[in-house]
Homo-oligomer: A and B are copies of this chain.
Amino acid sequence: MGELTLWTADWVPKGPRGFVRDLRLRWACEEAGLAYTVRTVPFEGIHTNHLDRQPYGQVPFLNDGDLEIFESGACVLHLAKKSEKLMPRDPAGEAHTLQWVISALNSIEMVTVPWWFLKVSGQGADNGLTGWVSSRLAHLEQVLTEREWLVAGRFTVADLLMADVLRVRDVRAFGHRPATEAFVARATERPAFKKAYADQLAHFAAADAKRASR
């Protein structure tokens, strides 16, 4: 283990800014007070220029010293081992953090992202996955009605990932779900999220400036 380096793209179009998943890693580091450096792969040719580091041609990925890790969910869980601020240390707290992390990625995002993809691919918000999204989000709304944070009565990486999945504009606008909306607001009002978000926007804005000066 050693120095943390978050890898992202050197530039992306305006659309995904604020939503590139390096934000999950930045956010986790900010919550835990872990120092990190940001490095980049070129946006040009991004789908093939770093397949040796990320087999699907995506960002982010992480260096922890010599250790290389991809998948934002795995990177965040790896970071969570470094700080009790990100995950409780008792067996139940750890198991339930893991449970809700997987729930965010494999029960919610597994439905919301393909639904969103169909929506922006021209099939609209009422597509073949809408009913499934509706059902999953309704169940989650029930959970969030009963608690402030998902695990152990306090913020963990489970909230970080769940909030990041839920804060997508089209998902946030899906139906009337006041407990979920309050949860997303609570999570994204945290100083660590705000810093991570601002830093990502600044990173890509700096790349705009560099492009303009060429």
Interface membership of chain A positions 150-186, coded 1 if the CB is closer than 8 angstroms to chain B and 0 otherwise: 0000000000000000000000000000000000000
The dominant DSSP class at the A interface is helix
A139 to B114, CA, bound (A): 18
Docked-complex contact A117 and B99, CB < 8 angstroms: no
Docked-complex contact A128 and B118, CB < 8 angstroms: yes
Among residues of B, the one whose C-beta sits closest to the C-beta of A136 is B56
Q: Which of B51, B91, B102, B127 contacts A105 (CB 8 A)?
A: B102
**Given A55-B142, A128-B117, A128-B128, is A96 in contact with B110 using a C-beta cutoff of 8 Å?**
no
Docked-complex contact A74 and B92, CB < 8 angstroms: no
Q: Which residues of A contact B (CB under 8 A)?
A: 1, 51, 55-57, 64, 67, 69-71, 73-74, 77-78, 91-92, 95-96, 98-99, 101-103, 105-107, 109-111, 113-115, 117-118, 121, 123, 127-129, 132, 135-136, 139-140, 142-143
